[in-house]
Every structure is written in C-alpha cells, then in structure tokens.
Amino acid sequence: MNPAMKKHLDLFFAKRPGLRAAAEFPQLAATGEARWDAERIAAYAAICGLPAGSTLPLLVPQIAAAKLHLDLFADRQFPFGALGIVHIENRVELLAPIPASAVLELAASAGNCRPWRPDSSEGWLFDLRTDVSVAGVPKGTWTATILARSGAGGSKSAGRETAGKEPTVDGETTSFGDLLRSAVVTVPENIGRRYGAIASDRNPIHQHALLAKPFGFKRAIAHGLWTLARTLGEAIDDLPSSDLSLHARFKKPIFLPGRFLVDVRKKEKELLLLAQGVPFEKTSERGRAIPHLAVTVTSGRG
C-alpha cells in the first residue's frame, strides 16, 4: 500500500478519547517550510482550470501545509479520529501575492473549538489555521473549519449536507447583484486520484467508491479544495490579486463522476460564486435547492 494512503487510513481508524468540553481541546501547533516547483504548480493549475502565472495559485499555501495538518491530527493529544470529520468552511485572508518560486514559511495550529450546535453531544467545530510568510513577511492566513461529529450519526451522516449551521444561501442566485457568467463543469470519476496525487491528499473518500462507502458515502466525492479552486477558476479575472477576503461554505458533496453549474455574480466589490447541482436539485427539508459550494470574495479584509 502507498505509504501516504496508509498514513491516511491509520489516522481515520485511530482510537481517540473525544471531548467533553471545549476547554479540553489542546492547543496544537507545528511549523515548517514548503516550496512547489514549476512543474507541480503547472499540473495543479491545469487540473483546477486555472491559468499558469508568476504568482502562486490562491489555495496552494493551504495545500502545501498538509503535512503539518496531518502531524496535528496524529498528535496523541488530538481528541478526534479522522473518521467522520468534515471540512465545512474555508477562509482566506490574502495580504499580498506570493511569487510562484517562493519558499513558504508555514505555521499551522488547531484551536477555537466550540459546539457545533447548542447540544455539544452532536459534535464539535474547530479551526485548522495556517499562517504563511515569505522571507519573514506575512502573506496571509488560510483557515479551514472542521466538524467532528459525535454520537450515533458517526460516519453515516458525514456524506450528508450540513446546511443549517452555515449562513443560508437559498435564493441568492437571483437576488445577489449582476450575473457575470455561468459555466457547467464536468467532473470525471478519477479526479480524486489525479488531484490527490498533485496535492498529496489521498484521503480514501476521494479515491474509489469502494473506499468511500465505509465512511458513509455512496460513491467517492471530489476534494473540497479542488471544487473551490475549480469554481474560482470561473471568476479568475474578477478576483483581486491582494487584500482579498474569501469565505467558502461546503454544503454537500459532489459525487464522482458528476457535473456542477458555476454561477458568478458581482455586487460592487463583492463576488458570489455558487457551485450548484445539474439540474439544480431540490434537496433541503423546505424544498429549496442547496448548492454544493457557496463562496463570497471581497476586496479588503473584513
């Protein structure tokens, strides 16, 4: 078995004590350096539908810190097994463009634990934060919000959407600003394996249907950060190159193979991007459509 795949499986099945109160969550941190060569950046840009350029693609610093994130999860103090954890939100605060050839100085930490819902027995949220500098100069912060479910739901509920906790986006496709463009993206069955090889993320839920089913998914699902990058690719000419704030909410998985529709809308200095099912399925309890992904991007930090 591939050593990276074995490490992922070991993390998923590790026995962990869980958590009784948010105050018990340990403050974990790790530091390191990373650099992507031109060939790897080009491969990443191609698979995400991004142009090749002299600056690092927006999400690469977060991906480059993946080894540090796995080290945090592998720490014996970390209270949750990876089985059933779900990446539900992502935030980026980009201060300035990062040269593609830069050596990234990475500082990763896990913290800000809080109940997912008022009854903490349902699960916990925590933030996986990555601060990035180049030659000692801060370039930005990448923060993933992770849901660690507990109780009877376990992995069987991990494959369902988590709408209700995040801000609603129902109806925003028609009420938010001007529609700039729409595009249908076709997602092949092997995208998880192809992207995982580039990003060094071989989580089994993205690899094959047989590996995803034990974790509650009917088929393999696309990586959230691939979906986000591919969605951003449809708005690349409208994104600010610096002083950027991004908030992405992952609503439900994209099963492989599949398709999704990207809508790009703009209102003053704010962009709204929605990755929606094709056709736009009615899947919420109230009969409203829930997108796979909702992204807001603003110029200036807020």
Q: Structural domain of residue 144, as residue ranges?
A: 3-299
Is the pLDDT at 151 greater than 90, yes or no? no
Residue 54 Cα to chain centre, angstroms: 24
Q: pLDDT tens for residues 20-76? A: 899 999 999 999 999 999 999 999 999 999 998 899 999 999 999 999 998 999 888
Q: Are 109 and 28 in contact (CB under 8 A)?
A: yes
pLDDT at position 152: 39
pLDDT at position 249: 97
Q: Phi and psi for 195 in degrees, rounded to 5? A: -70, -40
Is the pLDDT at 169 greater than 50, yes or no? no
Q: What is the spatial distance between Cα 273 and Cα 243, in angstroms, rounded to a whole number?
A: 18
pLDDT at position 161: 41
CA atoms within 13 A on the CB side of 51: 8
Average pLDDT, the chain: 85
CATH number at residue 58: 3.10.129.10
Total domain count, the chain: 1
Q: pLDDT tens for residues 228-283? A: 999 999 999 999 888 999 999 999 999 999 999 999 999 988 999 999 987 655 44
